[in-house]
Chain A
């Protein structure tokens, strides 16, 4: 289920603007990798290139390679739609479909595969997915209420349930807790710890404590100024990044001198 991601010499462009330059890193299966760095350093952009979601912006393109278990994500015959079925994503703001019930939200991705699922299987999948998102006990009596009736933290866990329901290989999280209160944030962080048993997880976060709490490896990105491309400064074990980083800029950032 979980797979290794290899990024080699990746440049990301928005039309002619180079947003991220020359990134190479390898993400191991069943680990949590955190992308940290100041705003505009390209960490979200890089995250989105891992499931080709950056392509929803007209003119966005990449040079370089992204391999998932050796398969090139950007090979000419690869359909981005199929990539996104393997690489799930959780967004900054919880975005359950407001026109669907909680149950329908969980099944939304599965239904896309045109699988006519027997009701019992669907019930089972809904329960398993919600349980793995630590949400089952809170919503099991109101599965037919709209997803937007839940609290922000519950909505975000519903989005995680929706993402894991399609059994992806990789789970990308783009600042999943930035719109949540501390208690909900804690719930999501606990969840990430559990999900790591099954999935390769990449998380973008502005919260350095969060990065140090949840991740095994941390990548620090930076820009030298406005309008310049973001680059990968340092990529190492999280403990190393936060205790004795090898680059001065990393130390300045994680100790709160800037950013």
Chain B
């Protein structure tokens, strides 16, 4: 018996090759991640202990230096998601449950194309088109709603504010978020959609009963991926903003906080000595911020696992 002899030798060759290559690929990710972490930590150490005078600017120590950047990174990414999340869920729902099939396909194609546009192009668009376009609206907001702290003046004359940068970021993260949401919405079980319809649900009620709860974990994943991209995105922010090392939440002024990634891109060419280490250390902080946010998201998704629909 040929099969018997093959079995007697243990696992078959093909299985062994496949298991080996899969394990290698899995291990490779961990190795790369560990290597990046080791590099970041090793290169950061000099900056973490550095005193006044060694660091860029007038910072007393590294944490004073990096805090405005952390704030700017999270603030701009948060604003971007605030714009992109409802929009991407809406577009994805339209594609998956409202649009006629032809239109849905065309729309999905356009969204995917949007993902292929390089971020430099989005940055240019932000400077040349978006900023002048929104500047009059910003003026109006400051004039009429200036009493709300977010919209406090003086208004930026160029329109190149953290809000503009965030809108550019939102457009950039939109495709990936829409694509994921669409896939998750399409996977909502037809069985449950029909259950809702048979109870006399309208289409929107059906989506609220059977699609959105089912897609909850997927939507969180989409937001996290969008957030990851918004946090790490360099060019859009670096091109649109002329940043300052400040912490403020004013959306429409010309004094805007910078982000970690944009700061690295802008400062690295001229950095020397400990300043280089400080920039790398800020990269480490970005790494940790992203890690922390992802863990929070995992926790949120896992909390109601029994109700996720995975066991249905």
Contact = CB atoms under 8 A, between A and B. Distances in A.
Interface string B34-61: 0000000000000000000000000000
A196 interface: no
A85 B199 contact: yes
B132 interface: no
Max chain B C-beta neighbours (<10 A), residue from A89, A96, A99: A99
Contact of B210 (A85, A93, A97, A109): A97
Interface string B203-216: 00100011001101
A97 B207 CA distance: 12
Contact of B307 (A81, A113, A146): A146
B306 A82 contact: no
A81 B202 contact: yes
Contacts of B209: 97, 108
A149 B306 contact: yes
A166 B200 contact: yes
A98 B307 contact: yes
B98 to A, nearest CB: 13
Contact of B198 (A82, A88, A96): A88
A96 B310 CA distance: 13
Contacts of A101: 307
Contacts of A85: 199-200
Contacts, number: 83
A166 B205 CA distance: 16
Nearest to B310: A98
Interface string A126-156: 0000000000000000000110110000000
B201 A99 contact: no
A163 interface: yes
Contact of A166 (B199, B202, B306, B310): B199
B183 interface: no
Nearest to B213: A99
Nearest to B305: A146
B198 A91 contact: yes
A120 interface: no
Contacts of B192: 95, 97-98
A99 B191 contact: no
Contacts of B198: 51, 53, 84, 88-89, 91, 163
B195 interface: yes
Contact of A56 (B197, B210, B213, B306): B197
Interface of B: 189, 191-202, 205, 209-210, 213-214, 216, 306-312
Interface of A: 51, 53, 56, 81-85, 88-89, 91, 93, 95-101, 108-109, 112-113, 145-146, 148-149, 159, 162-163, 166
